[in-house]
Amino acid sequence: MAKVPVQFTLNGSEKAEFIDSGTTLLNALRDKVGDTSPKGGCHQGTCGACSVIIDGELRLSCLTLAETCNGTAITTTSGLAEGGVLQPLQRAFLDTFATQCGFCTPGMIMAAKVLLDHTPNPSRDEVVEALSGNICRCTGYEPIIQAVLTAARANSQNAA
């Protein structure tokens, strides 16, 4: 099968890979680059576990062809903690018990990060809407909603 070159930055680092044409970004990240923080829950764009941020926008990596990501800047949950220090969003997920099995967590954090980057002080409804593409089967969502609201408060206190 024809290989195509693809080049992007992942969490600030340059990456270049030869991939099979048609490879999803999810598989390229997990199998070629070795970043397994995006998860494959459905491979059909319904569960949100594979969510990543491409040039500031929330994207489903299982429905994104890797070869369309040339020259982009990609962020995943594995790149958030700088020097091992958790970001307020990650801290809030810990403190509000917003994780159980943990499989949806990286995707949830991506969706929440994009929301807070665009809307630093979201309403509860805005949080619910922002997380509506991500399925969690353990928590019942409430602790996750609380985590995002808690992180938003922490961010605004830091900014003040």
Partner 1 sequence: MELRKNYFADVRKDDLHEVGQPRPRSDSPGHVTGKTAFFADRNFPGMLHLKMVRSPHHHARIRSIDTSEAEKHPGVVKVLTAKDVPHNVYTILILIQIGPEDETVLADGKVRWKGEAVVAVLAETERAAQEAAAKVKVDYEVLPAVFDMEEALKPGAPLVNEYHGRNYYLYDSGECRKVRFGDVEAGFAGADHILEQSYQSSPIEHAPTETTGCVVVPEGNDRFTCYTNTQAMFFTLDNASIILQMPGSKLHFVGGTVGGGFGGKVDVIVEPIAILGAKLTGRPVSFIYSREEEMQISSPRAAEKVVIKDGVMKDGRIIARKVTGYTDAGAYSRHSPYGAQKGAGHYPGPYTIPNVWIDTYCVYTNRTPSSAMRGFGVTIGDFALEVQMDRLARLIGMDPLEFRFINAYRDGDMKAHRQPTEGAALIECMQEASRAANWPVAEKYMAMSSYVKGA
Site residues (CB under 8 A) for partner 1?
A: 30-31, 34-44, 46-47, 49, 76-78, 80-81, 86, 90, 93-94, 97, 99, 101-106, 109, 135-138
Q: Which of 46, 132 has the CB closer to partner 1?
A: 46
Q: Which of 9, 43 has the CB closer to partner 1?
A: 43
Q: Which of 91, 160 has the CB closer to partner 1?
A: 91
Q: Which of 1, 160 has the CB closer to partner 1?
A: 1
Q: Taking the complex as a whole, how short is the minimal distance between the CB of residue 89 and partner 1, in angstroms?
A: 8
The strand pairing partners of 24, in sequence order, are 65
Torsion of CA 150, 151, 154, 160, to 10 degrees: -120
Q: Taking the complex as a whole, how short is the minimal distance between the CB of residue 102 and partner 1, in angstroms?
A: 3
Q: Taking the complex as a whole, how short is the minimal distance between the CB of residue 35 and partner 1, in angstroms?
A: 8
Q: Taking the complex as a whole, how short is the minimal distance between the CB of residue 22 and partner 1, in angstroms?
A: 9
Q: What is the C-alpha to C-alpha distance for residues 156 and 160, in angstroms, rounded to an integer?
A: 6
Cβ–Cβ under 8 Å, residues 14 and 7 = yes
Q: Any idea which residue has 């990286």 for tokens?
A: 106
SS (H, E, C) 15-63: EEEEEECCCEHHHHHHHHHCCCCCCCCCCCCCCCCCEEEECCEEEEHHH
Q: In angstroms, what is the C-alpha Rg of the chain?
A: 16
Q: Taking the complex as a whole, how short is the minimal distance between the CB of residue 60 and partner 1, in angstroms?
A: 14
Q: Which of 13, 125 has the CB closer to partner 1?
A: 13
